[in-house]
Structures are given as structure tokens and as C-alpha cells.
Amino acid sequence: MIGKLVVIWGSMFSGKTEELLRRLNRAMRAGKKVQLFKPKVDNRAGTCVRSHAGREAEAVVFEKPGEIINLLEPGVDVVGIDEVQFAGTEIVRVVKDLLFYGIDVICSGLDMSYRAEPFPVTMHLAAFSHECVKLSAVCAECGDDAWVTHRKSEEDALVVIGGADKYAALCMECRFKAQKGREGNSCR
Ligand code: ADP
Ligand code: MG
Ligand code: ZN
């Protein structure tokens, strides 16, 4: 039977990693063999996947998505992939291969960059997922539902790895205000 794909997406701090770990634990409780992967670019927490609330699990680190197939342990029923937006476009083909091997896949990843632009890999996976779970954090300014990850630092590279030191989840209104303060004009 072909596996099922779940995509958990949202901003930073929205609970994607917690939801991924919850689902993997649930699968283990049901007697399934699970294996968790994360891309090497996410160098936080070494070989662990760790949520902002401190929940963690050991993961297999990959540099290129194609490595996942070789790193796969025999008899795995469910594969989890955290920070999937950083995995590179090849991950889409790898996930499809896993599904065709009959393996269920749960991916968690950012929907948008700090520039509020969609991450193509997450979008692509979400488009052919069986289930999509969109989570939102709490806006760090006003407590509303957060919409995007705001970068507090001035760095402008697309990918800058960091946590609460560099990023905050903001609702749409507070994000526009923060951008306006930075640029001196509206970003709408
Ligand atoms: P993600 O993987 O989406 O970045 P995590 O699963 O690592 O999120 O962390 C979620 C946890 O982060 C929450 O349960 C909460 O304890 C904590 N947290 C910190 N800042 C926020 C915030 N602004 N909104 C919601 N949760 C937050
Ligand atoms: Mg996470
Ligand atoms: Zn707000």
C-alpha cells in the first residue's frame, strides 16, 4: 500500500516540531517503527530535533535528500522530517519514493521565510499531502495568532539559523508595523 504524507507547516514557534514528535510517539505506541531525519543546515541541537519547549528526539542528519534512502533502517513504517524547507528540492522526489515504498511520511516545515515569501519545498509537499496541519504561534507583540516569522536581526541572507535570539512570531499587523519601523515606509 502507498504511504500517506502529512505536512505540518506554520511560522517559527507555532509548535511544528512538537506536533511532529507527538505524531511520531503516537505511531511508536501503535507498534510502528519510526525514523526521524533533519537537514544538516539546521545545526541547532546537534543530532537532536528539539522543540522550543525543550522536547527532543535523536535524529539522523542528512546533507542531501537522496541520502535518506540509504540511511533508512530496515522495516521503517513512518519517516519524520523536521525543518523540511531546508532540505532542497530533491526532497520532493525522495518523499514520493518513500510513499511508494509504503512508508508514511510526516514533514514539518516553515510555510514562509522571514520575508513572508513561501518556501517552495514546503508548498510542493503540502500540495500533494494527504493531510496538511497549519499551526500558528502567538504574536510576540499583541498575543493574536501569529502569521509570519519576523527576523529581529539586520542580517538579510534568506537562511540564517537561529532561535528566539533572532526571530519572533508576529501577526500580520504587528509585522507590518515592525517592517514600517525598519524601512520608514509601508511594505504592503
Ligand atoms: P516550531 O517547530 O514551530 O518552531 P516548537 O514545536 O519548536 O515550534 O515550539 C513550540 C513551543 O514554543 C510552544 O509550545 C511554546 O512552549 C514555545 N513558544 C515560544 N514562543 C512562542 C510563541 N510566540 N507562540 C507560541 N509558542 C511559543
Ligand atoms: Mg521546529
Ligand atoms: Zn500582533
Nearest ligand atom owner, CA of 18: 1
pLDDT at 184: 59
Nearest CA to ligand 1 atom 20: 13
Residue reference for cell 522536547: 55
| pLDDT, position 81 | 98
Asked whether 114 lines ligand 1 (CB < 6 A), one says no
At 181 the pLDDT is: 75
pLDDT score for 161: 85
pTM of the model: 0.94
pLDDT along the chain (188 residues), means of 10: 97 98 98 97 84 94 96 98 96 98 98 96 97 98 97 87 90 93 58
**Catalytic residue list:** 83
The rounded Å distance from CA 185 to ligand 2 centre is 32
Q: Is the CB of 148 under 6 A from ligand 1?
A: no
Query: Quick check: CB of 12 below 6 Å from ligand 1?
Result: yes
- Cβ-in-10-Å burial (0-12, 13-18, 19+) of 150 comes to buried
Neighbouring C-beta atoms of residue 32, cutoff 10 Å: 15
Q: Which ligand is nearest to the CA of 170?
A: 3
pLDDT in the model for residue 188:
45
d(CA 142, CA 137): 12
